[in-house]
A and B are shown apart, each in its own frame.
Chain A
Amino acid sequence: RKEVEQDPGPFNVPEGATVAFNCTYSNSASQSFFWYRQDCRKEPKLLMSVYSSGNEDGRFTAQLNRASQYISLLIRDSKLSDSATYLCVVNSDTGRRALTFGSGTRLQVQP
């Protein structure tokens, strides 16, 4: 079983739609959580960190459910420029800084 599981997609949505991605992680001791965005043939870039209380940044909302070991990302009012792969990323081990990546969910926003 993978440590971080994501639906690979692709999610094809029209501009303006709301789309949600989910992710589950297997290590209950995981301590920090992130969503990264990766454009085709580019490096991953931090989209947002995910905190226990949930957090919002403009059109993006992230939620964490530690009991269910589940992370979500909601994108409202999708733009063409949101088309990318969204990586669920977890820091699994106390004292280590290694990030564990999901395989990513591809989003294609269509005009």
Chain B
Amino acid sequence: EAGVTQFPSHSVIEKGQTVTLRCDPISGHDNLYWYRRVMGKEIKFLLHFVKESKQDESGMPNNRFLAERTGGTYSTLKVQPAELEDSGVYFCASSLSAGGPYDEQFFGPGTRLTVL
């Protein structure tokens, strides 16, 4: 069974440009999460989708970040315009729908974003 996949694996852009990251969750997983790790810091939660609905977007840093999950399958995270402090590794995770707080979240390999 395929795990969580993310595209691209690396992205290097200039400040002010736009970047769109994509995540494909494990098939059948209704829950999809975005996290990120900026240099020297711990991994931090960004948001949580249940199917196509945003369940929790309390971790989104500002309105330059837009996440979508049309149709409840794959998700995109757009950063527009990108700033230097957005550099880091963006992880996507997914989990099954019916479960409690011990539901395992399966992480994708991440997208390493560098803003110059």
Interface set of A (CB-CB < 8 Å, partner B): 2, 4, 31-32, 42-46, 49, 87, 91, 96-104
Known: A43-B108, A96-B58, A97-B105. 15 other contacts (CB 8 A): A43-B91, A43-B110, A44-B43, A45-B107, A46-B105, A49-B102, A97-B55, A97-B101, A98-B33, A98-B58, A100-B45, A101-B35, A101-B43, A101-B44, A104-B42
**What separation, in Å, do the CA atoms of A104 and B41 have in the docked complex?**
10
CB-based contact A97/B102 at 8 Å = no
Interface set of B (CB-CB < 8 Å, partner A): 31, 33, 35, 41-45, 48, 55-56, 58-59, 91, 95, 100-110
What residues of A have a CB within 8 angstroms of the CB of B41 in the complex?
103
CB-based contact A96/B110 at 8 Å = no
What residues of A have a CB within 8 angstroms of the CB of B45 in the complex?
98-100
With contacts A43-B110, A45-B107, A96-B56 taken as known, whether A101 is within 8 angstroms of B48 at the C-beta atoms is: no
**What separation, in Å, do the CA atoms of A42 and B31 have in the docked complex?**
21
What residues of B have a CB within 8 angstroms of the CB of A87 in the complex?
43
Q: Which 6 A-B pairs have the closest CB atoms?
A: A32-B101, A43-B107, A98-B45, A101-B43, A103-B42, A101-B42
What residues of B have a CB within 8 angstroms of the CB of A43 in the complex?
91, 107-110
**What separation, in Å, do the CA atoms of A95 and B15 have in the docked complex?**
37
What residues of A have a CB within 8 angstroms of the CB of B105 in the complex?
46, 97, 99
CB-based contact A97/B56 at 8 Å = yes
